[in-house]
Amino acid sequence: MHCDPRFSRVREVFARQFAEGLELGAAFAVYQNGELVVDLWDGVADGRTGRRWEHDTPVFAYSCTKAVTATVLLQLAERGLVDVSAPVADLWPEFAAEGKASITVEHLLTHQAGLPLLEEPVPVALFEDQPAIAARLAGQAPIWEPGSAHGYHALTYGFLVGEVVRRVTGKSVGDLVAAEIAGPLGLDLWVGAPDDVIERAARIKGPGRRSDPVTAVPEQAARDAAGDAAGGAAGGTVFTRMAAAARDPQSLMNRALGNPDMRLLDGGANNPVILRAGWPAAGVVTSAAGLAGFYRALIAGELLRPETLSDAIRPRVTGPDRILSVDSSFGLGYMRPAMTFLAPSPSAFGHSGAGGFLGLGDAEHGLAAGYVMNQMADALSGSMRAYHLIQAVYESL
């Protein structure tokens, strides 16, 4: 393990979270101005066998995937292969059905398309057939006027953006991540893990009740909202509504977060089918250093031109989320600070993942960070574990 003395506060927070029983196994990595200043890991990767967490232990990091997928699409845009402002149907003609001809690629990236859920349950047999799932979405009508509101497209984001990528290149998001991001940079990061990675991946332990598969916003969030992090009584009202939606199987939240339903497979997100599938919304398997390394390269201009990234992280939508019932904020596929992406700095961007995962970049402060674990929490912020670590980083600057 490594921790620059300037960031000793981070090591203290990391150790305390284990001492308080909040972690089973976890890792946290931080780059500052391209230098690896924090690289911590501890605990158990597999609670069944006692296998220890190692420096390069990978784990399924849920919606941290979305920022990686956005980067793939923006690379295509830089090459003139995709016009983000153009209709999706220009690249995917079947998508124009059911009144969707005006939906743009930007609408997909900013969760404004009005397609946050799949109307019919996706059978397990299709879990690894992304074009077939995308075809289902192409046949659906939006549930709100595209561009008029935003709501978290928890899983459909990936099938929609992934199909645009496939139509342009003939390749999956996972193929392009391997060939143009993780491979050249030597990152422990896969969107669709090979068998040898699956064998050494950490085994995720759920929170003990149903946690959503992407951003972790169930009932505990209502109790979190009563504290300082949620802004007092007004926040509690919002989170009470969110908790009620989490309890209702037919709410937009649950319909968006639970189809395709990983729970249909033995072990859920630990099942090799899920780890292999490479869903572009929730499919990344990565180590903390791999995730932090992705953001290091991103803010260094190695993956996108600085002007492309600057435009991509400009907030396009901010405010009430039609699916999550709390405020969210998005650029072109990247989260900006809001209740769904807790960050101490307004210049931070990135993406959170179910139960507490976090990938973060901040070009203004030269920071890139990745937090991964296998003890999922059932709260919006993952019991604030990632936030407390990130807060300690900023306090150390």
* Domain residue ranges of the chain, discontinuous segments joined by +: 2-396
Q: What does pTM read for this prediction? A: 0.92
Q: Mark 133-170 as b/e (b = at least 16 C-beta within 10 Å).
A: bbbebbebebbeebbebbbbbbbbbbbbbbbbbbbbee
Q: How far is CA 111 from CA 79, 141, 145, 332, in A?
A: 24, 15, 12, 9
The helix/strand/coil state of 263 is helix
Q: In the chain, which residues have pLDDT < 70?
A: 208-239, 241-242, 378-383
Tokens of 397: 């600057």
Q: How far is CA 86 from CA 81, 113, 273, in A?
A: 11, 13, 34
| 63 catalytic residue (yes or no) | yes
Catalytic choice (8, 63, 148, 381) = 63
What pLDDT, on a 0 to 100 scale, did the predictor assign at position 213?
Answer: 36
Cα of 56 vs its chain's centroid, Å: 20
**Which helix H or strand E contains 285, and what residues bound it?**
strand 284-286
Is residue 389 within 8 A of residue 10, CB to CB? The reply is: yes
What pLDDT, on a 0 to 100 scale, did the predictor assign at position 237?
Answer: 60
What pLDDT, on a 0 to 100 scale, did the predictor assign at position 254?
Answer: 87
Cα of 136 vs its chain's centroid, Å: 23
Strand partners, 321: none
Instruction: Give 76-82 contacts, CB < 8 A, sequence gap 24+.
Output: 76/165, 76/168, 76/169, 77/308, 78/304, 78/305, 78/308, 81/168, 81/169, 82/164, 82/168
Q: Other C-beta atoms within 10 Å of 19: how many?
A: 9
Superfamily of domain 2-396: DD-peptidase/beta-lactamase superfamily (3.40.710.10)
Cis link prior to 123 (omega < 30° from 0)?
Answer: no
Cα 174 to Cα 153: distance, rounded to the nearest angstrom: 19
Residue 320: what are its φ and ψ, rounded to 5°? -60, 130
Residue 210: what are its φ and ψ, rounded to 5°? -65, 115
What pLDDT, on a 0 to 100 scale, did the predictor assign at position 325?
Answer: 85
Q: Other C-beta atoms within 10 Å of 273: how many?
A: 14
What pLDDT, on a 0 to 100 scale, did the predictor assign at position 23?
Answer: 96
Task: Name, in order, each residue with C-beta under 8 angstroms of 129's C-beta and a sequence gap of 6 or more.
Answer: none
What pLDDT, on a 0 to 100 scale, did the predictor assign at position 339?
Answer: 86
Is residue 150 within 8 A of residue 332, CB to CB? The reply is: no
Cα 113 to Cα 92: distance, rounded to the nearest angstrom: 15
